[in-house]
Chains A and B, each alone.
Chain A
Amino acid sequence: MKRDTELPALRLENLTLGYDRHPAVHHLSCDIASGALVAIVGPNGAGKSTLLKALTGELAPLQGTFRLKAGRAGVAYLPQQSEMDRSFPVCVFDMVAMGLWRDIGAFGGLRRDQAERVHAALAAVGLSGFESRQIGALSGGQLQRARFARMMLQDAPLLLLDEPFNAIDTRTIEDLVAIVLGWHAEGRTILAVLHDLELVRRHFPECLLLAREPVGFGPTAEVLTSERLAIARRLASDFDDAARVCQRQPERGAA
């Protein structure tokens, strides 16, 4: 994939998202460059998952817009694991093969080369031999590996990961981080919601600190300072049920 330095992969313009008029993400403007590897951090309730949901089109903005260079079709989204029903009877191969949805759609069968791509993706995440296991029989880490394999097959230029390393052992995290870094090396743009600040400092060059308001965006070392983190904690905790209507005018480059 060739890097395109002119257009940002993602441009947020005065984006406000929320539920029941209460903003969960408030007046967020920023450009994510093509090929960037960005960690989105912030306290619980800071609007991190909400932002990803909006980018996949699941949630309409209350105000503002965003532009995706690759369009809706160029986005691959990995929701939190808890949103899956693991008791459903489906095997690992079938689940991972659904990463090819854009090629095979609702009716197409798998051609031989496509089936081989599924096997290759499973091998790349260390799940060779698990093809016919039921997803209910996988551990949390194995299931996450399978979900990464599915995302690999989606072959999208913009990847959105929602807490991909939650409740997963260090060995698996290392393997999955290596996969993410591989995607980064291929020139894909990656946004990942993360809680482990150490991991962010080690592997993610850029960081967006959210606490409903954007608190900082830029090189990780400059964003994750103790002052900014303190601001983020304070902002996320005040929530006013009787909040007045926001009168703030759109401003450019607020973050």
Chain B
Amino acid sequence: MIADALFTPFSDFEFMRRGLAGCLALALGATPVGVFLLLRRMSLMGDAMAHAILPGAALGYLAFGLSLGAMTVGGIIAGLVVALAAGLVARSSILKEDASLAAFYLLSIATGVMIVSLRGRNLDLLHVLFGSVLALDDNSLLLISAISTLTLFALALLYRPLVIECFDAAFLRSVSGTSPVAHYGFLVLVVLNLVSGFHALGTLMAVGIMILPAAAARLWVRRLPAMLALAILIALASGIGGLLASFHADVPAGPAIILAAGAVYLLSLALAPGGMLGVRLERRPHLES
């Protein structure tokens, strides 16, 4: 009975299997990037960049309709432009980076919605804003998996410089020239994964699958490799849970996935060793030294 509820949706329906594959790829690619976003205190930066992708994707849509390639390329370009421009504004004006990011993403989302509605129907706008994890075609799946594969390789290559760049950038700069490679390489990974999350979950929620599992994992474990592994598991579980909830309760899949991840986060916030209650509940006797 329970097994039926858990397995038959996937065994009987192809769109559920495609959604599952998409979630698996996102969990493996986007979530580790989210862990580093969180640790670099760039969660809001990720949010702003996700919104910035919208006008780029919308321009691609305006020119070519719902074409995967055009929207992807447009999104990647727009995301990179905003990431670099926000840093430039922060460095060369008196505005701090958070203010310039907020300004950019408000402008982006307004521009994006405007462009989409110039040509499209409301259905298209919904697709762009909230994604279509249950309607992933072969090309979208290939794109998402390709980006995840690339991300895993790139993270493996960049892991050591990126970790040092996160907690002691001045030291990294003094021993090697890899600091800018780590920083900008990481930004490129963020944009790529936001675009891949955008196809499945939409521009408004792509960051959710990156930050929420990372934040939940941070509350449970102390070591980075464990944190990466746990975040991936949480993302995958949220993906499966969200898809099933969407199937059985007939609710939209994207928000269900993010809400599932949000539920894990809230639960962790309450119970985990690093959470609000956990800190108080853990009354193990202290050590001698």
Name A's B-contacting residues (CB within 8 A).
Answer: 56-58, 75-77, 79, 83-86, 88-91, 95, 98, 101-102, 105-107, 134-135, 150, 154
Contact = CB atoms under 8 A, between A and B. Distances in A.
Interface string B200-228: 00000000000000000010001110010
B39 A98 contact: no
15 contacts: A56-B173, A56-B174, A58-B173, A77-B170, A77-B171, A79-B170, A79-B174, A85-B168, A86-B167, A88-B166, A89-B223, A89-B224, A91-B223, A101-B176, A107-B160
A89 B168 contact: no
Interface in B162-216: 163-164, 166-171, 173-176, 178
Contacts of B39: 88-89
Contacts of B22: none
A79 B169 CA distance: 10
Given A89-B223, A98-B175, 13 more contacts: A57-B173, A58-B173, A84-B168, A85-B167, A85-B168, A88-B167, A89-B218, A90-B167, A90-B224, A95-B168, A102-B175, A106-B160, A106-B176
Contacts of B175: 98, 101-102, 154
Closest 3 CB pairs of A and B: A88-B167, A79-B170, A77-B174
B170 A83 contact: yes
Interface in B205-256: 218, 222-224, 227
Contacts of B160: 106-107
A106 B222 contact: no
Contacts of A90: 163, 167, 224
Nearest to A90: B167
Nearest to B170: A79
Given A83-B168, A84-B167, A106-B160, A89 B174 contact: no
A58 B170 CA distance: 9
A89 B222 CA distance: 6
B91 to A, nearest CB: 12
A150 B168 CA distance: 12
A77 B218 CA distance: 31
Contacts of B171: 77, 79, 98, 150
A119 to B, nearest CB: 19
A58 B164 CA distance: 17
Contacts of B170: 58, 77, 79, 83-84
B215 to A, nearest CB: 13
A76 B174 contact: yes
B166 A85 contact: yes
User: Looking at B39, B163, B167, B224, which has the most chain A CB atoms within 10 Å of its CB?
Assistant: B167
B161 interface: yes
Contacts of B178: 106
A77 B175 CA distance: 8
A135 B166 CA distance: 13
Contacts of B176: 101, 105-106
Contacts of B158: 106
Contacts of A107: 157, 160
User: Looking at A89, A98, A134, which has the most chain B CB atoms within 10 Å of its CB?
Assistant: A89
A190 B169 CA distance: 22
A107 B167 CA distance: 18
Contacts of B227: 89
Contacts of B223: 89, 91
A105 B178 CA distance: 10
A182 to B, nearest CB: 21
Contacts of A83: 168-170
A86 B168 CA distance: 9
Contacts of A79: 170-171, 174
Nearest to A79: B170
Nearest to B227: A89
A150 B171 CA distance: 10
A75 B170 CA distance: 13
A173 to B, nearest CB: 22
Contacts of A77: 170-171, 174
User: Looking at B157, B168, B176, B222, which has the most chain A CB atoms within 10 Å of its CB?
Assistant: B168
A58 B176 CA distance: 11
A251 to B, nearest CB: 31
B172 to A, nearest CB: 8
